Amino acid sequence: MGNVFPISLRLSLKLKILIPLISISFLVFGFVFWIFHGYLVATYENEIKKRAETIALTIIYTSDASQDPNQIQRLVTTLNLDPDVKLIVTVAGNPPIVFASSRVQWVDKNISFLPDLPERPFLRASATSTKGYHFEERTNNSFIYITSLKMTRPLGNIGVIGNGALLLELDVSSIIQELSQAIFVMAVGLALSTILIAVFIYLIIRRFVLIPAKAMKNVMVNRTKGVMKERVPVYFNDEIGSIALSLNEMLDQLEDESNKRSLVEARLRESESRLRELNSQK
């Protein structure tokens, strides 16, 4: 009878089930976290692009190219830009003008990425569509949105007529910080949810697998001691349930045979006692 159940049922079933269950749960957690992380990053990227495009198009289609810096400054102020927004308008071969939300500043030297602008293909064509030609570039802390700008009149006191470009640089460090916080909160929430789900599944397995297995073990131990009154509880008609039913049927048969044997032994003892009485009377 000691070989009826596999060895695994006599080992530590808690560790054999709980450890793989937690491992699988965290694999699922990693996959879900990867999906939500990509979704959040894409959402923030799209929000940044929309914001940059809105500001750039507002500058292009509401400003008059003949306005002086003071008028442009008032226009930029009406946009209610954040302090971390920097607008750069440049014409090929001329120093750029840097617009911030609170100031308009003339720059005497080119910014590092400006000399390469004339070589970009979109600068060699006019902005014929509504959005024009645009270029997007991400750095660690900034998002640069560049769109072509057809210059039909001089800009400020720069006497150049031709194709230029509007560069919008957004400092996204605060947005990245918000994104990091959102990802951290999401990771903590998913981790806690994963642990709770793993514990819940373990409790279910313990209720319907581990406890019946332990009951089977106790029944077998009691069988070796001659106690056969205990039965294994059956919860579902599954593999564990079928094993429990088979064991209970076997125990019923053994109990019946034991009762019959006890009855035969009792009758045999009674017959022996009567035989001894008869022999003593002779």
User: Could you tell me the residue ranges of all domains in the chain?
Assistant: 28-180
What tokens appear for 228 in the block?
């056969």
First to last CA, the chain: 49
Any residues with CB less than 8 A from the CB of 252 and at least 6 apart, and which? none
Name the CATH architecture for the domain at 28-180: 2-Layer Sandwich (3.30)
DSSP-derived letter for residue 102 is S
Integer Cα distance of 70 and 57 in angstroms: 20
pLDDT reported for residue 72: 53
The long-range contacts involving 190-194, CB below 8 angstroms and separated by at least 24 positions, are 190/29, 190/32, 190/33, 190/36, 191/29, 193/29, 194/25, 194/26, 194/28, 194/29
- Across the range 40-66, mean pLDDT stands at 62
pTM: 0.42
| Cα–Cα separations (whole angstroms), residue 111 to 88, 117, 183, 232, 243 | 10, 11, 34, 81, 79
What tokens appear for 94 in the block?
């001329």
User: In the structure, what pLDDT confidence band is assigned to residue 3 with cuts at 50, 70 and 90?
Assistant: very low
From 64-78, 124-138, 235-249, the region with the lowest mean pLDDT: 124-138
Q: List beta partners, residue 99.
A: 87, 104
- The closest of 236, 203, 230, 205 to 216, measured between CA atoms, is 230
User: In the structure, what pLDDT confidence band is assigned to residue 52 with cuts at 50, 70 and 90?
Assistant: low
User: In the structure, what pLDDT confidence band is assigned to residue 120 with cuts at 50, 70 and 90?
Assistant: very low
Integer Cα distance of 65 and 63 in angstroms: 6
Amino acid in the structure at residue 83: P
Whether 51 and 204 have beta carbons less than 8 Å apart is answered as no
User: In the structure, what pLDDT confidence band is assigned to residue 76 with cuts at 50, 70 and 90?
Assistant: low
| Cα–Cα separations (whole angstroms), residue 273 to 50, 260, 268, 270, 282 | 105, 20, 9, 5, 15
* Higher pLDDT among residues 129 and 159, named by residue: 159
For 54-77, give one letter per residue: b (16+ CB within 10 A) or e: ebbbebbeebebeeebeebbebbe
Percentage of the chain lying above the pLDDT 70 cut: 32
What tokens appear for 179 in the block?
């994104």
**In this structure, how many other beta carbons lie within 10 angstroms of the beta carbon of residue 143?**
20
From 87-96, 149-158, 214-223, the region with the lowest mean pLDDT: 149-158
- The closest of 231, 238, 229, 230 to 209, measured between CA atoms, is 238
User: In the structure, what pLDDT confidence band is assigned to residue 74 with cuts at 50, 70 and 90?
Assistant: low
User: In the structure, what pLDDT confidence band is assigned to residue 111 with cuts at 50, 70 and 90?
Assistant: very low
Has residue 194 got a pLDDT over 70? yes
Has residue 10 got a pLDDT over 50? no
